[in-house]
């Protein structure tokens, strides 16, 4: 690797994550983002940068479109009442959006174009816009621009019954017209992932998230109590059991499927952010913030039509490790996004497959046995929730907080699969 400036990752704050149309449904994406950004910038007890211009860049993203906002980063920053002279831009990479925001900022800082970046993302699935059919939209637009009431009425009379329908967004791949769940069902069948294993994985995710909440792990990662109607993530369930999840019916393939509402991540509202800094940027942040090195990152893509939509991290991870001379056993912490339990288990199965490693990842040397017991020690998206644009920053902050408590030199891998057949992974190290 070329000699470059060191880059660090520090946890930011996030909102609680809540199921669609529940506790956070009255907060749109801006209202979710603003207090998260304001409190992160202010820092613990007001010790932060206070929007004084010490932030060099803001990178933010949202997956759900908004007709009135094109540059989410700029609008969030301005509405938060912070320094208007800070450049801000938006990135979108589906579920990996805020991880991509962090690595974009890291690339910029590495080459000396800034020292401190605030990165994150948001999605309000409760506020998903509903569009009009093209015919109805065209007729209304022409009526609105008509000169005089009579002309407007003539345009409105051109509306046909077939025009009167709504365009409701769906979580589907444009290239395949299949949902994420349908694609994951195909992956589960291809990799022979049993329903029992998926349900046990989901139960374990809830158990870890509940423990993380009970022991206070999440407290420093959440905005101040009273900011939102709930002060903690409402979705992790202490009463979730294997027996309860086993009783649920498949959702995406009702005849022979294995994916259920219980072993899949729920549609979620939430916002999250993190800090990316160079050495000079660290000096602008509170000493109390945990910090880890962001060593390297990797992206990969597969053909979503033929290869398994969410399997790309199983290409990116081996490439990342080989480039850094590491094996699986040398990674002490794995933070893997849980779009579905089956997707995580398929990824691990691929990482353990010599054929996959050689043919798809183009890695010929074995990387060892994958340490399943080191995955998501404080729970993941199945139990915590998955607001698309916020998930990457949630995972990065969670990983940084956990990793910083371990000895220097301890390493972690963050992995996020994304729609379009993409995978984005990062390598972190305790300092």
- Active site amino acids: 95, 386, 417
Backbone angles phi, psi at 206, to 5 degrees: -65, -40
Residues in a beta bridge with 11: 274
Question: What SS3 string covers 101-119?
Answer: HHHHHHHHHHCCCCCEEEE
Residue 230 tokens read as 């709930």
Cα–Cα distance for residue pair 274/48, rounded to 1 Å: 13
In angstroms and rounded to an integer, the radius of gyration of the C-alpha atoms of the chain is 22
Give 361-423 as a DSSP string: S---S------GGGB-TT--HHHH-B-HHHHHHHHHHHHHHHHTTS-TT-EEEEEEEETTTEE
Tokens 């109607």 sit on residue = 229
Cα–Cα distance for residue pair 290/345, rounded to 1 Å: 30
Q: Pick from 416, 393, 341, 339: which is nearest to 372 by CA?
A: 341
Q: Say how many residues make up the chain.
A: 431
Contact call for residues 292 and 404 (beta carbons, < 8 A):
yes
Cα–Cα distance for residue pair 331/89, rounded to 1 Å: 32
* Distances in whole angstroms, Cα of residue 191 to Cα of each of 37, 55, 294, 356: 41, 45, 32, 11
Beta carbons within 8 Å of 279's beta carbon, 6+ residues apart: 5, 6, 8, 115
Question: Which DSSP category does 148 fall into?
Answer: S
Q: Pick from 35, 42, 33, 19: which is nearest to 66 by CA?
A: 33
Residues in a beta bridge with 19: 268
């Amino acid at each position: 690797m070329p000699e470059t400036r060191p880059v660090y990752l520090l946890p930011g704050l996030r909102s609680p994550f809540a199921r669609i149309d529940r506790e956070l449904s009255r907060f749109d994406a801006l209202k979710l983002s603003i207090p998260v950004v304001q409190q992160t910038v202010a820092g613990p007890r007001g010790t932060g940068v206070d929007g004084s211009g010490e932030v060099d860049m803001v990178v933010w993203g949202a997956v759900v479109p908004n007709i009135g906002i094109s540059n989410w980063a700029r609008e969030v920053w301005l509405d938060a009442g912070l320094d208007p002279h800070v450049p801000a831009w938006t990135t979108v990479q589906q579920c990996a959006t805020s991880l991509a925001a962090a690595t974009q900022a890291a690339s910029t800082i590495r080459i000396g174009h800034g020292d401190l970046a605030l990165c994150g993302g948001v999605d309000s699935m409760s506020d998903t816009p509903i569009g009009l059919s093209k015919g109805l939209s065209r007729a209304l637009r022409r009526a609105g621009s008509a000169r005089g009431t009579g002309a407007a009425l003539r345009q409105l009379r051109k509306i046909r019954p077939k025009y009167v329908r709504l365009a409701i967004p769906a979580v589907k791949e444009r290239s395949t017209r299949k949902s994420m769940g349908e694609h994951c069902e195909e992956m589960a069948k291809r990799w022979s992932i049993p329903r029992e294993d998926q349900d046990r994985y989901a139960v374990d995710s809830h158990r870890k998230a509940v423990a993380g909440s009970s022991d206070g792990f999440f407290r420093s990662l959440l905005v101040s109590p009273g900011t939102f109607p709930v002060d903690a993530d409402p979705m992790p369930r202490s009463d979730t059991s294997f027996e309860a999840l086993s009783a649920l019916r498949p959702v995406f393939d009702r005849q022979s499927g294995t994916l259920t509402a219980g072993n899949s991540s729920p549609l979620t509202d939430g916002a999250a952010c993190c800090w990316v800094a160079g050495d000079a940027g660290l000096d602008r942040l509170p000493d109390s913030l945990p910090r880890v090195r962001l060593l390297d990152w990797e992206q990969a893509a597969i053909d979503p039509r033929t290869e398994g939509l969410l399997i790309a991290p199983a290409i990116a991870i081996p490439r990342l490790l080989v480039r850094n001379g590491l094996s699986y056993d040398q990674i002490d912490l794995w933070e893997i996004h849980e779009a579905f339990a089956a997707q995580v288990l398929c990824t691990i199965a691929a990482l353990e497959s010599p054929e996959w490693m050689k043919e798809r990842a183009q890695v010929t040397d074995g990387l060892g046995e994958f340490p399943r017991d080191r995955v998501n020690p404080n729970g993941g998206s199945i139990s915590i929730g998955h607001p698309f644009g916020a998930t990457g920053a949630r995972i990065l902050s969670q990983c940084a907080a956990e990793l910083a408590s371990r000895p220097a030199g301890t390493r972690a891998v963050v992995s996020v699969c994304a729609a379009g057949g993409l995978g984005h992974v990062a390598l972190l190290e305790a300092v």
